[in-house]
Amino acid sequence: MLAAERRDAIVNELESKPAVRVAWLADRFGVSDMTIRRDIDALDAAGALIRVHGGATRTSALSALEPGFLTNSDRQSAAKKLIAQAASRLIRPGMTIALTGGTTVYQLAALLPVQGPLTVLTNSLPAADLLHSLTADRHGGVTVLLTGGERTPSEALVGPLATAAVRGLNVDICFMGVHGIHPDAGITTPNLAEADTNRAFAQQCARLVVLADSTKVGVVSLAHIADLSELNCVVTDGAAAVRSGATDAVVNPLAELALHTTLLTPDTVPA
C-alpha cells in the first residue's frame, strides 16, 4: 500500500471512530509504529486529523461549540442520572460543596436535599433554581450561595464577578461539569470565561471531582481548565467498556484516564 493510500485509510478509520492508536494502526496496515507516526504527523499538518499522545483524533473532536442547557439536558440522560447517584455517595452532611454548570451536575443537585445539611456554592442558574424549589419548605437542609456574573448558553454565571466570588470562598469538594476530558489536554470547555471561573473553583476546593458521561471522554475543547493531575477523581459511565476490552481497536479513553487519575463509575464508587 502506498503512503497516500494508507493515509486516506487512516482518515477513513476516523470517520467511524473518535480516535485511533498508533499501535493498532501499525498492526492494521502491517507497518512500523514510526511509519504510522510519520503518517499522523503529515495528516495533522494537513488538518485532516489531530495528533495526540499515542494516536490521533478526528478534527470534529476539537469542539468550540457550546450547546445550550436544554439541548444538552436530553443527551445521555440515563447515564447522567447514574453518574449523579454515584457522585452523591461522596457527600457527607455538614460539607460545603461547589457545583459548576452542566447538565450532569444539575442531576446531582436534585439529590442534595436528602444529603443535608449542606452549604452549596454554585454558578449554575438551573441548579440554584432547582435547589430553591426543593428546599423551600424545609429548614436546615441546603443553603445556596449563587455567584454573580454573565450568563452563558449553558446557563452558568461566569466572568470577573463570578470568578471573584468563587475565589473568596473555600469548599470541601467541587463537582465540575466539563465539555471534554482527555489524558493529554485535561479538562476543557468551549467558553473562555467559563474556563477562568472553573479554574477558580478548582483552586478553591479541597477535592475536585469531575462528572462526565462517556461521550465527553476523549474530547478536546477550546479552553483548558485543569490537568488530570489536578483532579481527585472522575465519575463517569462506561465501566463495561473498560472491563470487556470492547474498544481495544481504538484509543480506549477510559483506560487512558484510569492511568492518570482515580476513575470511578456507578458500580465502583464507595457507599
Cβ atoms of residues 148 and 167 within 8 Å? no
The predicted-structure confidence for 158-178, as pLDDT tens digits, reads as follows 999 999 999 999 999 999 999
Cβ atoms of residues 175 and 84 within 8 Å? no
Type of residue found at 151:
R
**Could you tell me what percent of the chain has a pLDDT over 90?**
38
The predicted-structure confidence for 118-139, as pLDDT tens digits, reads as follows 999 999 999 999 888 877 555 4
The predicted-structure confidence for 222-239, as pLDDT tens digits, reads as follows 889 999 989 998 888 864
Distance CA(51)–CA(20), nearest Å, equals: 10
Q: What local confidence, expressed as pLDDT, does residue 246 receive?
A: 35
Question: Domains of the chain, with CATH numbers?
Answer: 3-63 (1.10.10.10), 69-264 (3.40.50.10470)
Give CA separation, 175 vs 77, 205, 245, 256, in Å. 18, 10, 29, 21
